[in-house]
Amino acid sequence: MGSDSFVGPTDYVLYAYLELDPATWATLRPSSMRDGGTTTVRIRSDIAPLLLGPPAAALPGDLRDKLVTGTAYDTRSVERSPYRGTEGVRVDDGLLLVLGTM
């Protein structure tokens, strides 16, 4: 879901933030498909503080979207129809997932 994606009237975006312990992080693979192993995902500005708490206020972005940059994780194992284009990024001790039906 890059910056040129547009959400249409029948498209949905699902956000999930999973706090993981060190043992679980050890079982996940960072994605090597992205530039330098990092990615930037967009999360709606009104949802960011609900998932990420007060640190969301410091994220770059605008009134519509906040930008979250971090280590990219391969999320193909959680992609299920109709959600495609899933992105995962590490935020502190959690994994932010962005799933879309686009």
pLDDT tens per residue, range 59-96: 999 999 999 999 988 777 777 777 776 788 999 889 99
- According to the model, what pLDDT value does residue 96 have? 92
Please list the residues that pair with 73 across neighbouring strands.
Answer: 30, 88
Residue 10 has pLDDT above 60, yes or no: yes
- The residues, ordered by sequence, that sit 6+ positions from 19 with a Cβ below 8 Å of its Cβ are 93, 94
72 within domain boundaries: yes
Residue 2: inside a domain: no
H-helix or E-strand spanning residue 17: strand 13-19
Q: How many CB atoms lie within 10 A of CB 101?
A: 15
Beta-sheet pairing, 13-19 with 65-73:
unpaired
Question: Which residues span the domain enclosing 74?
Answer: 13-100
Domain count, the chain: 1
pLDDT mean across residues, the chain: 82
Is the omega angle on the peptide bond into residue 9 within 30 degrees of 0, that is, cis? no
The CA-CA-CA angle for residues 21, 39, 42, to 5°, reads 95
Whole-prediction pTM value? 0.77
Considering only residues 31 and 66, tell me which one the structure prediction assigns the higher pLDDT.
66
Judge whether 8 lies within some domain: no
Does residue 3 fall inside a structural domain?
A: no
Q: Please state which of the ranges 25-29, 47-51, 74-78 shows the lowest mean pLDDT.
A: 74-78
Q: For residue 32, what pLDDT band results from cuts at 50, 70 and 90?
A: low
Check residue 30 and report its DSSP letter. B
In a domain, 6, yes or no: no
